Structure 1
Amino acid sequence: MQFLWIKCEDVLPGVGLGVLTVALFLGAFFFYHEVQDSPEVERNCRMAAEATNNSEEFKMKGHSAFIVGYTGAVGKVLTKELAKAKLFKKVLLIGRREIDLDDDIGNEFEQKVVDFEKFDDYADIFKDVKYGFCCLGTTRAKSGAQGFIRVDHDYVMKSAELAKTGGCKHYNFVSTQAADKNSSFLYTKTKGQVEEELKAIQFERLSLLRPGVLLGEREESRPGEAVAKFFLKPVAYLFPTAITTPMDVVAKAMINNMLAPVDRPVELYENKAIHQLSGVSKGCSGSKSQDGGDKK
């Protein structure tokens, strides 16, 4: 068989061999990251188990919290998980617009519309709110390079500064896998810079989470991400903690981490650790999930 000047019988074996080689290489890469030991797996799994035991005592203290970026994909999932857990007497949802909340989101959730360009004018929102979650973020494709930096760096840092001044003790930030202030890529470089600057604010407790490729439903369409997720579905099934993270896993990890006692002011959780903290990781087969059921 011949296509134009190309003889398929001469080309196809080489192409097939090339595809097989790439597939084997990628398989080995994902397998390595899946089986690679997490340095603190016992600690992470213990924290996930302790979270359930600590939740009732936590509720009784009547704390308040805020979520910056609650209209985004991770923020929405976190809002739903906090609504299920009913841990706070009040949760302030901070964003640039109001959205229709699900019916199961209780009255303790209050939307606060702000102009991020005039964030200082809304400093009172953060007064006496002890727990903060930052899920704020955009993409370069959507906002341009400068717009991306404005949202993912400037707005995040301003929210952290206002929160610290208002009395926030525990600030949780959703970063990204491979975040590095010295990276040559804008996305990972910006996230790495934010991590370092958040440390300088010196919260009593700072939790930095670095999830992999986020899996879940998004309101906005991102064609490139949609294609990537299509090809990553089998990877996520075979190697669930290698490079992907369901959004509900990120949310549950943040909640469990908040509920568990810690012995350090700054915590950095890579992708595998996030799965363990969530209470649904196969790597924590001996512990209990957040809802009290046995792990699979």
Structure 2
Amino acid sequence: MKKLAIVSGASGLVGMQLLHQLFSDPTFSYVLVVSRRDLAIKHPKLLQLVVDFGTLPQVSLIGELRKQNIGGDLHQLIVSLEKFELEIQGFCALGTTIKKAKSKENFYKIDHDYVINFAKWTHQWGAKKFHYVSALGADQTSSVFYSKVKGEVEQDLKLIPFDYLGIFRPSILLGDRNESRLGESIGKRLASWVTAVGILKKYKPIHAYQVAKAMIHQAHTDELEVVKVINSSEMQIF
């Protein structure tokens, strides 16, 4: 059975690494990026769907693919979707910062509402497994707004009846970003020094490609657990 990966947050640090690894993974025949704007990349496996995440639940995946099927290249994919002959997995690396969102309300809308809308939509179209990039320290009871929101997302994802839900909690992410973040850069260096050993080791910064590799690994693993939390230290081996 052919596999379809549906990805959100593909333009981000983890998301871009995830895309490259899905492209090179022979078990995934199609990679569908769902985003607010087209990515400036091309690949034979790549399909793109530009959406408003606020109204995503009302979007017909098959209908949108039919609009793009001008030359007939997507006919087999559409037929496979209609006949439920695809294994579909969702991958979510969607997220922002309060600075970029400009308010806590906008941050919550993107990091919580849009993520949940995307997860429900992938399940609606047949996804059995879902992989979500959360954050180390995610806790819905936390007094830290960022951690609290991430914790709420995790809890709300558990209400969607996926066969498997993978929750990935990375520490500070390492990798090349499009924008410069001086404070974050300094924080990464300090964190690398103080977390090399001891009880603080779980806070050691992690490369984005390692998080992506862990997600791909879980995509190929037959888990007995319906919900599995993969912490940053566990992803360091990839």
Shorter-chain TM-score: what band? 0.7 to 0.9
CA–CA distance in structure 1, aligned partners of residues 186 and 209 of structure 2: 21
Shift of 1:224: 2.1
Of 49, 57, 62, the residue aligned with 1:112 is 49
1:70-219 to 2 correspondences below 5 Å: 70-101=10-41, 106-124=43-61, 130-143=88-101, 144-219=103-178
1:239-258 to 2 correspondences below 5 Å: 239=197, 242-243=202-203, 244-258=205-219
Q: Which runs of 5+ in 1 are unaligned?
A: 1-60, 279-296
Shift of 1:94: 1.0
Q: Is 1:123–1:162's contact at 8 Å kept on the other side of the alignment? A: no
- SS of the residue corresponding to residue 71 of structure 1 reads coil
Q: Is 1:64–1:91's contact at 8 Å kept on the other side of the alignment? A: yes
CA–CA distance in structure 2, aligned partners of residues 259 and 120 of structure 1: 27
Shift of 1:222: 2.4
Q: Residue type of the partner of 1:135? A: A
Q: If the length of structure 1 is used for normalisation, what is the TM-score?
A: 0.67
Q: Is 1:130–1:170's contact at 8 Å kept on the other side of the alignment? A: yes
CA–CA distance in structure 2, aligned partners of residues 99 and 109 of structure 1: 10
Q: Is 1:96–1:115's contact at 8 Å kept on the other side of the alignment? A: yes
CA–CA distance in structure 1, aligned partners of residues 153 and 128 of structure 2: 18
CA–CA distance in structure 1, aligned partners of residues 220 and 187 of structure 2: 34
Q: If the length of structure 2 is used for normalisation, what is the TM-score?
A: 0.83
- Total equivalences in the alignment: 213
CA–CA distance in structure 2, aligned partners of residues 86 and 269 of structure 1: 24
| Structure with the greater alpha carbon radius of gyration | 1
- SS of the residue corresponding to residue 159 of structure 2 reads helix
Shift of 1:241: 5.4
RMSD: 2.0
Identity of aligned residues (%): 34
Deviations 1:166-222 (A, max 9, x none): 111000000000100000011100000010111111211110111111111111222
CA–CA distance in structure 1, aligned partners of residues 126 and 51 of structure 2: 19
**Partner of residue 269, structure 1:** 230
Shift of 1:100: 1.6
Greater strand percent: which structure? 2
Poorly superposed stretches of 4+, deviation over 4 Å: 125-129
Q: Which runs of 5+ in 2 are unaligned?
A: 65-80
CA–CA distance in structure 2, aligned partners of residues 66 and 241 of structure 1: 33
